[in-house]
Chain A
């Protein structure tokens, strides 16, 4: 065997070692959540002193934690989260795609400046203005409502940026031909631009969903009725209780994490495309 070959063999072994280490570091906590949700709750803090592999290998698997959790108020919170996320995606796609179209397909003076103001404003983390905005929402009577939870999330700077980037790449000949045929801007938008833009629309939808699903500070600020709590807040309140069942806690954590995880893994291709169009300037 020649030296370069041996060297590349060592390099390969090094890569595998590092890869496995990284997978364990990031993956083991995930496995611990899954196992703790599926084992009898009293076993969660066993096998720790001394630490044995049994901590990650349950003797018996049970869905009891899930059935107890789902017989309480938690399903309501999950439904609230889903409703808010779906409404945010629908409203957000409408608002962000129209804005992106207006800022890309139509030429007008100061377009770049308007674009900069819109994207910068909506890229400022929402948390930064959440406290004063919650005061306004209370004045407007939007507390404890789906509208109150959904509205601030529909305008998303990254989604607008992403869609506009894609729209700019659509040949203007298509638009010009349609205009000669007498099509209005709305027709061009709905019949030419949107059908061509499935990948960035899915990518933007994913961004909007993730944003909405992980919201924590905002629902804390404008929701006071327990029936309107979203899932992450309901779970955190659960921990705040004097005595709580760790099995239910892990079952809830797993449910709240699994929904975006499944979406993200299934739509990974679109997520990667959106990330690429942000990270790379062609």
Chain B
């Protein structure tokens, strides 16, 4: 039985003013107290798994051999390794995010059109999304070996074999390739959803006016897709900022620091070099950046336009 009727036989037999009075008192009683019980587990998780580690890392970052101080931060921004890692991460972000978003947009627009096999080809692009990044890294690591399939393909196309992960110039780009193989299909789904939301009449009206596909894309699709595009851009930025598995599995940050992204740098600082205070300072810096970017992402989720 879903809801037991009260003894008086339920709403139907109550006078209107009685109903209103009941609702009024309920509205008052259902304040923060009732909600608190439902939100309590999430707030507890928030406290234990988010606030406490943030405070912990903030405190740990202040630990110096001579007591509490900002020595770790001073060292962090003056010694080369952290800044180099930040620089690598920024260059990486400037390559991987535009690439993934543009490819996802292009594919979403392509699959918006009707052609035989559209469902199958879309599923093919979407399929790698299911592959966990660690597994994709392992498999692409094999593919990128000098004697493996990628080079075999390049040679058969008349191009020379490439060093990929063993070269400081190509290692980061190789990681971008495998990340995009996994990521593009995922972002594409958000943009396809956004495209579905654009009323067909706009395109029909444009067709009547004689507008071609290029004109339609820039005058209808792009402006009306602004919100999902902004969301995908920020979400990709967030996800790609903390990339760890491919670096740890394939390159150990090398060759010559070329793939030493900040997440791996902090991990190495904490474990390989056992310098927890310095690692904590790096984690806190990362955390501050993340809070700002996720704040923007949340605003995009909520904004009315």
Contacts and interface: CB of A to CB of B under 8 A. Distances in A.
Contacts, number: 314
A23 interface: yes
* 5 closest Cβ pairs, A-B complex: A102-B38, A99-B42, A214-B132, A261-B130, A132-B57
Interface string B152-185: 1101100000000000000000000000010011
Given A51-B152, A154-B45, A131 B270 contact: yes
Given A26-B124, A26-B185, A107 B27 contact: yes
Contacts of B290: 124-125, 128
Given A125-B239, A213-B132, A155 B49 contact: yes
Nearest to A19: B121
Interface string B190-215: 11011011000000000000000100
Contacts of A125: 238-239, 241-242, 290
B96 interface: no
A129 B35 contact: no
A177 B227 CA distance: 37
Interface string A21-60: 0110011011011000000000001001111000100000
B10 interface: yes
B38 to A, nearest CB: 3
A213 B135 CA distance: 11
B298 A127 contact: no
Contact of A132 (B54, B147, B149): B54
Contacts of A103: 35, 38-39
B91 interface: no
Contacts of B86: none
Contacts of A214: 132-134
30 contacts: A19-B121, A20-B121, A23-B121, A27-B124, A29-B140, A30-B124, A32-B143, A45-B148, A49-B152, A51-B156, A98-B41, A99-B42, A106-B38, A107-B31, A120-B291, A121-B51, A123-B297, A133-B49, A135-B56, A135-B276, A152-B49, A155-B45, A155-B49, A180-B23, A181-B10, A182-B4, A216-B132, A253-B135, A276-B196, A280-B228
A118 B208 CA distance: 48
Contact of B6 (A23, A151, A182, A185): A182
Interface string B43-68: 10110011111101100100000000
Interface string B117-159: 1101101111111111111011111110001110011011000
A177 B10 CA distance: 9
B39 A22 contact: no
Interface residues of A, number: 102
B95 interface: no
Interface stretch (A10-18, A62-70, A71-79, A197-205): A10-18
A106 B34 contact: yes
A16 B153 CA distance: 23
A257 to B, nearest CB: 4
B292 to A, nearest CB: 10
B123 A217 contact: no
Contacts of A191: 2-3
Contacts of A279: 190-191, 193-194, 197, 227-228, 231-232
A118 B49 CA distance: 12
Interface string A128-170: 1101110110000000000000011011000011000000000
Nearest to B270: A131
A246 B142 CA distance: 9
B124 A118 contact: no
Interface string B272-305: 0000100110010011001100110110011110
A83 interface: no
Interface in A80-118: 94-96, 98-99, 101-103, 106-109, 111, 114, 116-118
A265 interface: yes
Contacts of B15: none
Contacts of A61: none
